[in-house]
Amino acid sequence: MYEQVQEVLKKLRPFLLRDGGDVELVDVSDDGVVLIRLMGACGNCPSSTITLKAGIERALTTEVPGVKEIEQVF
């Protein structure tokens, strides 16, 4: 599942980079929780929660079977 999550994040990365941010995959647990770190402008952006939940989480839960939840680590 880790590799599948990485592939989806590669697709999303250009959109984040365009706004001066980036995303790092920290871990994927066996129970479907993905830990990510938002970096650059995304790390302290007021809209980062929306980016995380509406963008990244939706893409991952749709495209990677078994992903249940995304959590941000700092």
Q: How does pLDDT run across 55-64, given as a tens digit for each residue?
A: 899 999 999 9
DSSP H stretches of helix in the chain: 2-18, 48-50, 58-63
Instruction: Please give the pLDDT value at position 6.
Output: 97
Instruction: Please give the pLDDT value at position 45.
Output: 73
**Amino acid (one-letter) located at 64:** V
Question: Contact 60/51 with Cβ under 8 angstroms?
Answer: no
What domains lie within the chain, and their CATH numbers? 2-72 (3.30.300.130)
Instruction: Please give the pLDDT value at position 24.
Output: 94
Instruction: Please give the pLDDT value at position 43.
Output: 75
Q: How does pLDDT run across 8-57, given as a tens digit for each residue?
A: 999 999 988 988 889 999 999 999 999 999 888 777 777 777 778 888 99
Sheet of 69-72, strands arranged across: 21-28, 33-40, 69-72
